[in-house]
Chains A and B, each alone.
Chain A
Amino acid sequence: MPDSQYDLVIIGSGPAGSTTARFAAQQGLKVLLVDKRQELGAPIQCSGAVSRHALEEVGITPDAEFIHEPIYGFGIYNEKGDSTVIDYRRLKADEYGPEEGKKPLGYVVDRRRFDRYLMTQAERAGVEVWLKTEGLSYKPGSNGSCEVFLRRFNQEITVNARVLVGADGLQSQVGKWAGLRTHIKITELASCLQFIVDQVETEGLLEIITGHEWAPGGYAWVFPKGYGYAEIGLGVIPTMTDRNAQWHLDRFIHHSFFKERFKNSRILEIQGGGVPLASPLRTQYADNLILVGDAARHVNPITGGGIHTALSGGYIAGNFLAGFLNQGKAPTAQNLEGYQNCWLEELGNKMWKLYEVKTEIFRKNDLAERDIQLYQTMASYFSPDSEYKKI
């Protein structure tokens, strides 16, 4: 079966998997990308915010096919409703704005359309894509490749790959197959819920509401969602509250300083998920295997944002693997450590630094002090002269 031999088999066609696939295929690798879903992006577990430069860095032109609404800045609130507005339409008026010749700072994307778009770009670069195909397990062999066991429309199929890429999200099973330490602490996984709503005004800003009062251990958000819709959500750390995210979201909508603004809101969609506010995985590779995106916990520990880090991680992984396999190197764990080193240098070390910042804030036992620090950190993180280079 000559067709069952691939350079890469990638499990999971989210932003990380399809970006890894696209860059690898562009450089001549034979790539199979599989996803167990029938429709990518769904069920949505993400707010969809991504910066423009994150897209451009990986060769994605912002396209109406997947954009809900352009973003021009941020509104950061403390628990009482005092705010810091960072509107790039005012701060850098000649560069950012809706007018001809100016640009948005970022976008809120439709994850269904966005993930499909990224997969399409991968397919056009030569990647073979199988939907309704789940990964079951893998077995490294002695000849430098591994067997990957898949189930596609109920049919069990075995393919050979030189490297298996686990891009299967936060719920990653691929990392567990390899015995990697993927377990996340309950104190570092935010339980998130969001409503897409009608009748809530927004102004092209990502609004972030900090404070233990509203979202213990995380924050609440109000994002523009296009067509006059908005997204209201929050994430909480379960060990910091006796209530669930649903209770906190209901309370935020009906009892916070935004209750007047939200009073006519009508729920159009309900979405949720776990968002890691954690460090990246310490080991993201094994024999014939690497992890990328949420599966490797490539998520910004301050913001919980994961699209940019997934795209960048995919870019790094795809380029590394193409260079590596085109040189004929054996994909042993020892050699694949190079991927992680590459990733640390380009992205990971910054994420570790942000993790330390975040940990320092939540280490404070005094809630008032913690609230002040989180508010200030968020406000400075999104300011144009932030000491943290955006990731």
Chain B
Amino acid sequence: MSNKEPVIFTIGWNACINCGACVAICPQEAGFISAFDTIAVDRPCDIACLLCEDICPVSTISHSPANLTSFAR
């Protein structure tokens, strides 16, 4: 499946060092941020470039398809 399908990011908070690199690389418009200064995890990312996963120094960002529920049906 193409990476261009919208995704929801999950952050493993245990490993997150709050470095902000994911926000720095994110090409989304302003505001795609969580309350903990990471990329947003509460809404779909329709760009799905996954650069945030690449830049994370501790690889603690992962994703799942945003339309997972429709797959289940």
Q: How many B residues touch A, CB cutoff 8 Å?
A: 21
- CB-defined contacts of B58 to chain A, threshold 8 Å: 193, 244-246, 272
Is A384 part of the binding interface, using a Cβ–Cβ cutoff of 8 Å? no
In the complex, A83 Cα to B56 Cα: how many Å?
31
Q: Is the CB of A274 within 8 A of B18?
A: no
For chain A residues 225-269, which have a beta carbon within 8 Å of chain B? Answer: 238-239, 244-246
In the complex, A176 Cα to B23 Cα: how many Å?
12
In the complex, A244 Cα to B31 Cα: how many Å?
26
- CB-defined contacts of A273 to chain B, threshold 8 Å: 19-21, 57
- CB-defined contacts of B46 to chain A, threshold 8 Å: none
Q: Could you tell me the distance in whole angstroms from the C-beta of A119 to the nearest C-beta in chain B?
A: 19
Is B68 part of the binding interface, using a Cβ–Cβ cutoff of 8 Å? no
Q: Which of A74-82, A181-189, A332-340, A362-370 contacts B (4 or more CB under 8 A)?
A: A181-189
Q: Is the CB of B30 within 8 A of A192?
A: no
* Further 7 A-B residue pairs, CB within 8 A, beyond A238-B51, A238-B54: A173-B33, A189-B24, A191-B57, A192-B57, A245-B58, A272-B57, A274-B20
State the main secondary structure of chain A at its contact with B: mixed
What 0/1 readout, one digit per residue, does chain B (1-41) give for beta carbons within 8 Å of chain A? 00000000000000001111101110101110100010000
Find A272's partner among B19, B25, B51, B54 (CB 8 Å cutoff).
B19
Q: Could you tell me the distance in whole angstroms from the C-beta of A381 to the nearest C-beta in chain B?
A: 25
Contact A170 to B24, CB < 8 A, known contacts A177-B30, A270-B17, A273-B19? yes
Q: Which residue of B lies closest to A173 (CB)?
A: B30
- CB-defined contacts of A183 to chain B, threshold 8 Å: 27
Is B67 part of the binding interface, using a Cβ–Cβ cutoff of 8 Å? no
Q: Is the CB of B17 within 8 A of A43?
A: yes
- Central interface residue in B20, B21, B33, B57, by most chain A CB within 10 Å: B57
- CB-defined contacts of A271 to chain B, threshold 8 Å: 17, 19
Residues of chain A touching chain B, judged by Cβ–Cβ distance below 8 Å, are: 43, 45, 137, 169-171, 173, 176-177, 183-184, 186, 189, 191-193, 238-239, 244-246, 270-274, 276
Contact A191 to B56, CB < 8 A, known contacts A171-B24, A184-B24, A274-B20? yes
Q: Is the CB of B59 within 8 A of A43?
A: no
Q: Could you tell me the distance in whole angstroms from the C-beta of B45 to the nearest C-beta in chain A?
A: 15
Q: Which residue of A lies closest to B29 (CB)?
A: A176
Is B55 part of the binding interface, using a Cβ–Cβ cutoff of 8 Å? yes
- Central interface residue in B23, B27, B55, B56, by most chain A CB within 10 Å: B55
Residues of chain B touching chain A, judged by Cβ–Cβ distance below 8 Å, are: 17-21, 23-25, 27, 29-31, 33, 37, 51, 54-59
- CB-defined contacts of B18 to chain A, threshold 8 Å: 43
Q: Which residue of A lies closest to B25 (CB)?
A: A189
- CB-defined contacts of B21 to chain A, threshold 8 Å: 189, 191-192, 272-274
In the complex, A239 Cα to B35 Cα: how many Å?
28
Contact A244 to B56, CB < 8 A, known contacts A176-B29, A176-B30? yes
Q: Could you tell me the distance in whole angstroms from the C-beta of A347 to the nearest C-beta in chain B?
A: 21
Q: Could you tell me the distance in whole angstroms from the C-beta of B73 to the nearest C-beta in chain A?
A: 35
Find A186's partner among B17, B19, B51 (CB 8 Å cutoff).
B51
Contact A274 to B19, CB < 8 A, known contacts A171-B24, A193-B58? yes
Q: Which residue of B lies closest to A275 (CB)?
A: B21
- CB-defined contacts of A270 to chain B, threshold 8 Å: 17
- CB-defined contacts of B27 to chain A, threshold 8 Å: 183
Q: Which residue of A lies closest to B17 (CB)?
A: A272
